[in-house]
Amino acid sequence: MKFEHFALNVPEPAAQARWYVEHVGFTISRQRDDAPFTHFLADETGRTVVELYANPKAAYPDYASQHPLIFHVAVVAPDARAERARLEKAGATLFLEEPQPDGSLLIMMRDPWGVPLQLCQRTTPFRIAP
């Protein structure tokens, strides 16, 4: 099997999707303008990775109260500190900046809705298959 996407039930999927488009560089690969207002987001390679939707059949998690080690959205950031500063100006908040023994840098932030967003500046990038 091949990974398709990771989904989050959020109260404002359209606004949150716009933020990821404007500030993280994602694009909207598919969306619904009616309930549950689903927005599929793709990364710069065009691969759909995240789905945001609002479905009141399940409670919206309190993302801001959950530790980022429960889950997080991680993106490649060749200059993680510069991206951190830029994203903070766009409403994201810092949770932890964590230099790694191999020289990599991981910066854990929260988007304006509290969803954990990790910036990964790796010394040896992960291989991404087509």
DSSP 65: G
CATH class of 1-56: alpha beta
pLDDT in tens, the chain (130 residues): 988 999 999 999 999 999 999 999 999 999 999 999 999 999 999 999 999 999 999 999 999 999 999 999 999 999 999 999 999 999 999 999 999 999 999 999 999 999 999 999 999 888 776 6
The region, left, alpha or beta by phi > 0 then psi within -120 to 50, assigned to residue 5 is beta
Q: Do 63-130 and 1-56 have the same topology in CATH?
A: yes
Class of domain 63-130: alpha beta
Q: Which parts of 1-130 are beta strand (E)? A: 6-9, 27-31, 39-42, 48-53, 73-76, 93-99, 105-110, 116-121
- Domain borders along the chain are 1-56, 63-130
